[in-house]
Amino acid sequence: MPDMTSKTDWPEDHSPTPRQALHLSNLSFRWDQTQPPISYPDMTLNSGEHLFLRGPSGSGKSTLLSLLGGLIVPATGELTLLGTELSRLTNGQRDRFRADHMGVIFQQFNLVPYLTTLDNVMLPCRLSRKRRSRALPTPREEAESLLTALGIPQSHWHRRVTGLSVGQQQRVAAARALTGAPELILADEPTSALDSYNRDRFIELLLGLAAEKRSSVVFVSHDQSLAERFDHQLALEVAP
Amino acid sequence: MTIRLAFSLAMASLWYRRRVLALVTLTLTLSITLLLGVQYLRTEVKQSFTNTISGTDLIVGARSGQLNLLLYTIFHIGDATNNIRWSTYQQLREDQRIGWLVPISLGDSYRGHRVVGTNEQFPEHFRYGRDQQPELAEGEWFGDIFEVVLGAQVARKHGHQLGDDIILSHGGGKTSFSNHKDTPFTATGILAPTGTPVDQAVYVSLEGLEAIHIGWESGVAIPGRTVTPEQARERNLTPDAITAALVGIDRKVLTFQVQRQINESQLEPLSAILPGVALSELWRIMGQFEKALLGITGFVVVTSLIGLVAVLLTLQVQRRQEIAILRATGASPMLIAALHVIECVILAVAACGLAVLAGAAGIAGLSPWLLETWGIQVGLRPLNTTEWLIIACVPLASLIVGLIPALQAWRGSRKQGLGHVVPE
């Protein structure tokens, strides 16, 4: 398993289905002027490949995810997703890009409390036409098959999500991230609240379904034991 | 599509928080009901006011201000400054331009209700509302000296029926110690409710009033000088004076001419007033008060809108996570802001709907009481343009105040990173 801390060569690709999911070059970010900037190593991730991202607290893992999600903009450098340079997009375009091409899973509290399980899963399809058109055969049927695959009992589908266990909530979040087959899934320590059985099951299902949808997963975790399931690893360090 | 999404999310979110929001919505509903109620009653009371008299071209009485004359002749409020002589009344009757005259003689009372001395011209020519004639619910108009016709409320309040003996009191007031108990009257008719002061009065003949005052010239009954009804019938009962007269002019263009001539009359100091003008002057005075009331209730609505925003701002802290999820899923800050505004407007619209229902129920429930206690007839009717405008203002105002939490959410979600990374 190569450690992706150095830049690899890759051909320019701007075709409609880019082979390259993610490319960082000379990227850095600072929250404000008083803090030192966080610098990231250059790296590339091809479509369908998964990345394991680890590092101690404060090393900028979550910040990198926010950069990838387009919620914040880098101070320097380039961040190219699916052949699109994110900093060239306006705020609105980045929101749209995220809706169209990304699924996100948080550590916990992933679900909108007042929506049912199914509505939570179908939320991306309601925000993005692209995701809706790729949710086959229909957003609802895709959501149902994802929930079935992720082992959410049917009795919970039409109920509000507050009755679900933490493990179930994380799996519903995974279903939401996967629906409409986005090219990129950003997972921010999604297993940290789970026991080892649920954690292994979660990773298994997530990576399996991501492979089915041809999505690349960027997975942030402290848990080194999970790293071996990923094609690439990136270790971040706290800036000196 | 985004708008539909925002709406369905807003609805789901409101329903999820219904317990907290129900209370602020209730506050808002009550304040809108109050505002709407004041406006509605304002219109209705004004209508009721203007409905009090119609068809009468002039009211003639002793010289006084027009409000005073209007108040004591029509609304039975206050007392006459002076009487007009019977001879003057006779002269007016001979005037060719005057089509009809209704004499009115006031001064006595029946258990706090005014006694109106008049004649058969009253049911013939007195009109209220949209040219409506006072109609008898039971019995007939008085024909004899000692017969009385009761207003609807008088009969209802005291449980009178046809044939009951009625003893009138000398002077006004609810409790009188000098009663005309030697000369009882018999109820021969009960008027149908009109929603005007007519309901609160009793009607007797001028001759009847004259008859019961024989021996009362000094203001109290002088023993030995009063008469029995039988003796009274033998006397000349033509009155010396009446309080006022309602005048109908055949050719309306001559109204001002007649008014001017009466006001300049050499016979005695007289005043002739136009009821419509006097009514609008009366309303102008009352209007100041109810405008102030409307202003106050307007502020009550504004206060409850501010309360609503305060609650929405408090809820915002709880909503951080939910907004983070929506943002991560690709919702723009605009959508987040729109969500807040829509929620605020939906609550306001719901409050308006509830307020209309509550107002309608309230008016339906209160109208018998209003008619009984205040003699104001308030019925249910479709809302008019002003009232719709007031209702429409509330969601509009809520949209404006909803921008406060919306702006805050918009700014917050622009700064927000993915998930929990919210550097403050």
Contacts of B327 in chain A (CB under 8 A): 71, 95
User: Across the strands, what pairs with B249?
Assistant: B98
Which residues neighbour A44 within 8 Å (Cβ) at sequence distance 6 or greater? Answer: A4, A7, A8, A10, A20, A22, A23, A24
Is B423 an 8 Å CB contact of chain A?
yes
pLDDT of residue B380: 84
- Dihedral Cα A166, A172, A176, A177, nearest 10 deg: 60
Contacts of B12 in chain A (CB under 8 A): 114-115, 119
Quick one: B231 and B367 in the same domain? no
Contacts of B414 in chain A (CB under 8 A): 91
Minimal C-alpha gap between B413 and chain A (Å): 9
Q: By the 8 A CB rule, do A44 and A234 touch?
A: no
Q: By the 8 A CB rule, do A180 and A139 touch?
A: yes
Q: Is residue B205 part of a domain?
A: yes
Q: Residues B266, B272, B276, CA angle at the centre, nearest 5°?
A: 165
Q: Is residue B45 part of a domain?
A: yes
Identify residue A40 by its one-letter amino acid code: Y
Which residues neighbour A36 within 8 Å (Cβ) at sequence distance 6 or greater? Answer: A30, A239
Q: Work out the pLDDT band at B354, boundaries 50, 70, 90.
A: very high
pLDDT of residue B175: 65
Q: Is residue B424 part of a domain?
A: no
Quick one: B179 and B293 in the same domain? no
Which sign, positive or negative, has the C-alpha torsion B50, B55, B61, B63? positive
pTM above 0.95, yes or no: no
Report the distance separating Cα B162 and Cα B159, nearest Å.
10
The end-to-end CA distance of chain B, in Å, is 33
Range A161-188 average pLDDT: 90
Residue with structure tokens 């629906």? A179
Minimal C-alpha gap between B324 and chain A (Å): 9
The domain containing residue B230 runs over which residues? 58-278
Residue A64, SS3 per DSSP: helix
Residues A63, B421: C-beta atoms closer than 8 Å: yes
Residues B419, A113: C-beta atoms closer than 8 Å: no
Q: Does residue B190 carry a pLDDT above 90?
A: yes
pLDDT of residue B423: 39
Chain A segment 63-102 residues within 8 A of B by beta carbon are: 63, 65-66, 69, 71-72, 91-92, 95-96, 98-100, 102
Q: Is residue B423 part of a domain?
A: no
In A, minimum Cα distance to B423 occurs at A31
Report the distance separating Cα A140 and Cα A210, nearest Å.
18
Q: Which candidate, A155, A141, A194, places its Cα nearest to that of A171? A: A194
Range name among A112-116, B68-72, B365-369 with the lowest pLDDT average: B365-369
Q: Does residue A86 carry a pLDDT above 90?
A: no
Quick one: B80 and B223 in the same domain? yes
Q: Kindly report the number of other CB atoms within 10 A of residue B25's CB atom.
A: 21
Of B278, B293, B314, which closes a domain? B278
Of B278, B294, B322, which closes a domain? B278
Quick one: B199 and B298 in the same domain? no
Quick one: B149 and B234 in the same domain? yes
Is B416 an 8 Å CB contact of chain A?
yes
Report the distance separating Cα A130 and Cα A149, nearest Å.
23
Contacts of A114 in chain B (CB under 8 A): 12-13, 15-17, 322
Q: Work out the pLDDT band at B309, boundaries 50, 70, 90.
A: confident
Minimal C-alpha gap between B351 and chain A (Å): 22
Q: Does residue A238 carry a pLDDT above 80?
A: no
Q: Which candidate, A170, A112, A175, A172, places its Cα nearest to that of A139? A: A175
Q: Is residue B334 part of a domain?
A: yes
Quick one: B214 and B81 in the same domain? yes
Quick one: B17 and B111 in the same domain? no
Q: Work out the pLDDT band at B374, boundaries 50, 70, 90.
A: low
Q: Is residue B420 part of a domain?
A: no
- Substitution target from B21, B318, B418 for chain A, most A beta carbons within 10 A: B418
Q: Is residue B163 part of a domain?
A: yes
Minimal C-alpha gap between A189 and chain B (Å): 11
pLDDT of residue A14: 46
Quick one: B256 and B322 in the same domain? no
pLDDT of residue B422: 44
Quick one: B149 and B199 in the same domain? yes
Range A13-42 average pLDDT: 77
Residue B165, SS3 per DSSP: strand
Quick one: B8 and B111 in the same domain? no
Residues B333, A91: C-beta atoms closer than 8 Å: yes
DSSP state of B72: I
Contacts of B416 in chain A (CB under 8 A): 71
Minimal C-alpha gap between A13 and chain B (Å): 25
Which residues neighbour A235 within 8 Å (Cβ) at sequence distance 6 or greater? Answer: A3, A5, A54, A55
Contacts of A112 in chain B (CB under 8 A): 9, 322, 325-326
Q: What are phi and psi of A223, to 5 degrees?
A: -85, 95
Range B227-234 average pLDDT: 81
- Substitution target from B11, B321, B325 for chain A, most A beta carbons within 10 A: B325
List strand residue ranges (DSSP E) for chain A, in order.
20-29, 38-39, 43-46, 51-54, 76-81, 84-85, 102-105, 184-188, 216-220, 232-235
The packing angle between helices B275-318 and B333-374, to 10°, is 140
Q: By the 8 A CB rule, do B212 and B147 touch?
A: no
| Domains, chain A | 20-235 (3.40.50.300)
Of B208, B243, B278, which closes a domain? B278
Q: For chain B, how many residues are written?
A: 424
Quick one: B246 and B100 in the same domain? yes
Report the distance separating Cα B386 and Cα B384, nearest Å.
6
- If one compares B174 and B45, the residue with the highest pLDDT of the two is B45
Q: Is residue B422 part of a domain?
A: no
Task: Tell me the percentage of chain B whose pLDDT exceeds 70.
Answer: 96
SS (H, E, C) A144-210: HHHHHHCCCCHHHCCCEHHHCCHHHHHHHHHHHHHCCCCCEEEEECCCCCCCHHHHHHHHHHHHHHH
Report the distance separating Cα A77 and Cα A40, nearest Å.
9
Report the distance separating Cα B11 and Cα B267, nearest Å.
77
Quick one: B18 and B80 in the same domain? no
Report the distance separating Cα B153 and Cα B164, nearest Å.
15
Closest by Cβ to A92, choosing from B321, B327, B332: B332
For residue B12 the two structure tokens come to: 């789901």
Range name among A27-36, A73-82, A153-162, B5-14 with the lowest pLDDT average: A27-36
**Domain count of chain B?**
2
Instruction: Give the max Cα distance, chain A.
Output: 52
Minimal C-alpha gap between A221 and chain B (Å): 15
